[in-house]
Amino acid sequence: MSLEERREREKEEMRKLILDAAAEIIFLDGIDKLSIRKIAERIEYSPSIIYHYFNNKDNILNQLMSNAYQKIITALSSAKLSSDHPVERLKDATRNYIETALSMPNEYNAAQLNSSPDVLKYTASLFRGATNKNPALAFLCDCLKDIHKNAPRSESEIELMAQMIVIAAFGLIMRLNVEAELEEKQKYRLIDHFVNVTILQMAGIYTNNMPGGKSI
């Protein structure tokens, strides 16, 4: 069966070749300019061959976006052990998540705005409860429970908090992605405020909205 294995391996390599070419085109020319014919030109094959390895263009795009979004999710979980303090962990993870997402705007946008089954596995769907699968929501819920361990909130309260944070982070990233010409300084002013103030408010921590305000 080594023959079939090799076949499959070669097919996988070809798929990777196609995906890599697509990623480069998106990086160089933008996602709007991606076309089957351009991919074909880049890998030096005829356009038709691509349909031997993928069902259609959307399929390619979705696979690409899923892969990229997994990287963003990984960035989140890498903060899992960053600190003993749950609040610090929350802040670290969110900042990580935001900065990773901003480093691949095309992929993040496409992944979040796409509701294909391919991509939906990883994105922050509001469907699935926090306990289910979405890694970002699950991580946030854990953090929030930890933060409120002295005065426990209900499961649904925690879940709503987490969803609001995910939604707000999503909004921030989207806006920063759209407003490409925004100065770095302004950008980080917003991110800082979000991570240091807004998140804590949404997590039910601050009574005053400025840093230095009383915490619980």
Partner DNA sequence: CAATATTTTTGAACGGTGTTCAATAATATT
Partner DNA sequence: AATATTATTGAACACCGTTCAAAAATATTG
Residues that bind a second copy (CB under 8 A): 109, 112-115, 124-127, 153, 157, 160-161, 163-164, 167-172, 174-176, 178-182, 186, 189-190, 193-194, 197-198, 201-204, 206-210, 216
CA-wise closest residue to 135 among 84, 199, 71, 204: 71
The minimum distance between CB 206 and a second copy, in angstroms, equals 8
Taking only Cα atoms into account, the Rg of the chain, rounded to an integer number of angstroms, comes to 21
The minimum distance between CB 118 and DNA, in angstroms, equals 14
Establish if 52 lies at the interface with DNA (CB under 7 A).
yes
Establish if 205 lies at the interface with DNA (CB under 7 A).
no
Angle among Cα 179, 183, 188 to the nearest 5 degrees reads 95
CA-wise closest residue to 64 among 10, 108, 124: 108
Q: Which one of 49, 190, 197, 205 is in contact with DNA (CB under 7 A)?
A: 49
Q: Give the other-Cβ count within 10 Å of 154's Cβ.
A: 8
The minimum distance between CB 209 and a second copy, in angstroms, equals 4
In Å, what is the CA distance from 125 to each residue of 26, 44, 144, 215? 25, 38, 19, 31
Kindly tell me which of 11 and 16 has the beta carbon lying closer to DNA: 11
| CA 139 – CA 61 distance, rounded (Å) | 27
What lies within 8 Å, CB to CB, of 93 at 6+ separation is 76, 79, 80, 82, 139, 140, 143
User: Could you tell me the two tokens for 7?
Assistant: 């076949």
The minimum distance between CB 18 and DNA, in angstroms, equals 10
Enumerate residues 53-112 that contact DNA by CB under 7 A. Answer: 56-58
Lay out the site mask for DNA across 6-35 (x = CB under 7 A, - = otherwise): -x--xx--x-------------------xx
Cα 90 from chain centre: 16
Kindly tell me which of 21 and 158 has the beta carbon lying closer to a second copy: 158
The minimum distance between CB 19 and DNA, in angstroms, equals 14
Query: Which parts of this chain interact with DNA (CB under 7 A)?
Result: 3, 7, 10-11, 14, 34-38, 45-49, 51-52, 56-58
